[in-house]
A = this chain, B = another copy of it.
Amino acid sequence: MVSRRNFLKKSALSLAALGTPLARSLKGTNNLFPSESTSIGIAGWTFRFVDNEDAAKMMQRLNVKEVTLKDFQLPLDSSQEEIDQTLQMFSEAGVSVYGVGVIYMETKDEVDQAFEYAEKADVPIIVGVPTYELIPYSEKKVKEYDIKLAIHNHGPEDDLYPSPGDVYEKVKDLDPRMGLCFDIGHGERAGTIAAEGFNQYHDRIFDMHIKDVTEASKDGQSVAVGRGIIDFESFIQALAEKNYTGYYSLEYEDNMREPLAGIAESIGYFRGVFSTI
């Protein structure tokens, strides 16, 4: 078991070091399909009503290689063996688990549990939401475990982190492994245009939730990529210009009980725009 875990750890580190293929020239990468992914992953929440085996099959079919896992896919109190089984199943489908979350943390015990869990899962990133009071304790854990904490912005209704700027203000002077999971849909709903948010906060962005929304306001609904108001051309252009090497994952939330078509349409749209940059 140890040797496989070490291998996984090494793979995760290599991925983190190399970053995503955005660092390469993007022009004409569709010539490389399907041997190389354009590197968009999928955020676990997308699979709210899909079991892990079907999720892995969907990703394999769409040539998506990276995923984050939510607690309903991998419970926070899972044993090492349970975690290994789940990672192994995804790995056999060619899918690497690069993060866990979103994990809400309201007590020190919950912070402890999140880092223990991420350590067992060998992931470089926790997507999480600590209370303000727990930020210093979370930073201590980030240093202790050498696992990044990417705090998630959740739109106008969120008491703690409505916009990516609200996260950035809290982390910008902390350990460089304290940063953002920039949710571009919730960002637009809170008044932050995707490309502009990326350009402002990119030095602390470790992960992103890619989606589209029907309106740039509280009432905006999450829809398939390309069906809403987000300007993906300027957003992907911004990633390329900054040579972004972090992660980013589709979070599809529209037809969640039968998500395959919406996921496929979203991934297709994103890659289509991507191919022109």
Contact = CB atoms under 8 A, between A and B. Distances in A.
Interface of A: 28, 30-31, 33-34, 58, 61-63, 224-229, 231-233, 260-276
A92 to B, nearest CB: 20
A58 to B, nearest CB: 8
Contacts of A232: 30, 272, 275
A33 B226 contact: yes
Contacts of A228: 30, 33
Contacts of A224: 268
* Most chain B beta carbons < 10 A, residue from A228, A233, A266: A233
14 contacts: A30-B227, A33-B228, A34-B227, A225-B272, A226-B271, A233-B276, A261-B261, A264-B264, A265-B265, A265-B268, A269-B271, A270-B272, A273-B275, A273-B276
Contacts of A225: 268, 272
A234 to B, nearest CB: 10
* Most chain B beta carbons < 10 A, residue from A30, A61, A228, A232: A30
A272 B235 CA distance: 13
A4 to B, nearest CB: 31
A267 B269 CA distance: 8
Contact of A229 (B31, B61, B261, B269): B31
Contact of A262 (B263, B264, B274): B264
Contacts of A33: 226-228
A130 to B, nearest CB: 35
B273 A226 contact: no
A264 B275 contact: no
Given A268-B269, A269-B268, A226 B262 contact: no
A270 B275 CA distance: 11
A271 B264 CA distance: 13
A261 B258 CA distance: 11
Contacts of A227: 30, 33-34, 63
Contacts of A263: 261
A261 B263 CA distance: 8
A226 B34 CA distance: 9
Closest 5 CB pairs of A and B: A272-B272, A268-B268, A265-B268, A268-B269, A269-B272
